[in-house]
């Protein structure tokens, strides 16, 4: 389905990004994966190539840095142009908004809002200059429609990317560049769960009150991968400017995933903050090894 295509997945070393990278590889694409942890990217590339053959090229890139983006995209285009981009890299943690510092807000917005735009702009400009079509998928959340308490920097940033998807679908449509987005509901990954539901890792199903999700379950990774494959393929060239929810209709039944946290105590928030920071510190330690 994607034979001969070249696709970049940001945050492709772990979680949803890894799942999408694997699906693109299995369907014939050459896949570039970006992330901040070189070792993790290399392990993922080795694992996927061993399982499926083909080519996965890891590039350690922090998308908060436009110069790093430019250098890595130069490297890719010096081989051959890309055909697709998945803006998947993100950062998030639950916090009462009144407890956030400017740096806390920027920690999220600089990755999700700024970083995804920098990547889109760098690659889009090259496609326009070369007169080549391209497909961009951004991984958002259903909060782009409802907003969400306790994850305000993420919700605001992803809403901005929803607007980018609609705006550039129009502006870049005449250049043959498509932009679509996926709004996943609960697809448990280690990175997201530790920061959004701290203390409940490994008990993902406990998180779902049977009345909270109409499908009464969390999402399967293969379901997410299938949608990302469909949107990237040439079979839907007329589909652009759309954000598609894949959440078992959860946001329609119960918008705003974190509203129940209004009943947590000061101590609960303190405990959760400590758990998140421990998990951040463990990640940071991995980045420096």
Residues within the interface to ligand HXC (CB under 6 A): 90-93, 95, 99-101, 103-104, 107-108, 111, 141, 154, 191-192, 195-196, 273, 276-277, 280
Residue 246 · residue 227 · CB < 8 Å: yes
Where residue 117 falls (left for φ over 0; alpha for ψ -120 to 50; beta otherwise) is alpha
Alpha carbon distance 156, 115 (integer Å): 14
In whole angstroms, the minimum distance from the beta carbon of 166 to ligand HXC comes to: 20
Nearer to ligand HXC, 129 or 206 (CB): 206
- Number of other CB atoms surrounding residue 81 within 10 Å: 14
Say what the alpha-carbon torsion angle 232, 235, 238, 241 is, to the nearest 10 degrees.
-20
Residue 183 · residue 140 · CB < 8 Å: yes
- Structure token pair of residue 202: 């490994």
In whole angstroms, the minimum distance from the beta carbon of 167 to ligand HXC comes to: 21
Nearer to ligand HXC, 25 or 276 (CB): 276
Nearer to ligand HXC, 169 or 276 (CB): 276
Q: Is 52 helix (H, G, I), strand (E, B) or coil?
A: helix
In whole angstroms, the minimum distance from the beta carbon of 156 to ligand HXC comes to: 12
Nearer to ligand HXC, 30 or 250 (CB): 250
In whole angstroms, the minimum distance from the beta carbon of 6 to ligand HXC comes to: 25
Residue 185 · residue 251 · CB < 8 Å: yes
Strands (DSSP E) contained in the chain are 6-10, 30-35, 56-60, 84-87, 134-139, 177-184, 243-246
In whole angstroms, the minimum distance from the beta carbon of 116 to ligand HXC comes to: 11
- Structure token pair of residue 260: 């129940």
In whole angstroms, the minimum distance from the beta carbon of 129 to ligand HXC comes to: 31
- Structure token pair of residue 273: 């903050």
Nearer to ligand HXC, 21 or 111 (CB): 111
Nearer to ligand HXC, 80 or 215 (CB): 215
């Amino acid at each position: 389905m994607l034979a001969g295509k070249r696709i970049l997945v940001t945050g492709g070393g772990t979680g949803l990004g890894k799942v999408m990278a694997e699906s693109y590889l299995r369907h014939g694409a050459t896949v570039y994966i970006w992330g901040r942890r070189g070792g993790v990217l290399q392990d993922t590339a080795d694992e996927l190539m061993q399982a499926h053959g083909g080519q996965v090229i890891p590039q350690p890139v922090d998308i908060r840095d436009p110069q790093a983006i430019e250098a890595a995209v130069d490297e890719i285009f010096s081989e051959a142009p890309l055909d697709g981009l998945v803006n998947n890299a993100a950062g998030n943690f639950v916090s009462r908004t009144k407890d956030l510092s400017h740096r806390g807000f920027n920690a999220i917005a600089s990755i999700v809002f700024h970083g995804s735009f920098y990547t889109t702009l760098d690659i889009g400009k090259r496609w326009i200059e070369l007169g080549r079509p391209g497909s961009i998928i951004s991984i958002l959340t259903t909060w782009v429609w409802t907003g969400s308490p306790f994850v305000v920097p993420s919700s605001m940033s992803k809403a901005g990317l929803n607007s980018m998807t609609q705006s550039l679908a129009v502006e870049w449509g005449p250049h043959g560049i498509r932009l679509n987005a996926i709004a996943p509901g609960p697809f448990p990954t280690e990175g997201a769960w530790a920061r959004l539901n701290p203390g409940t890792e490994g008990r993902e199903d406990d998180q779902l009150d049977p009345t909270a999700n109409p499908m009464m379950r969390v999402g399967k990774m293969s379901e997410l991968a299938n949608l990302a494959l469909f949107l990237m393929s040439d079979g839907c060239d007329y589909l652009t400017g759309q954000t598609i929810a894949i959440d078992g209709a959860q946001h329609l039944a119960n918008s705003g995933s974190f509203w129940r946290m209004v009943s947590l105590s000061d101590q609960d928030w303190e405990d959760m903050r400590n758990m998140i920071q421990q998990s951040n510190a463990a990640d940071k330690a991995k980045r420096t090894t």
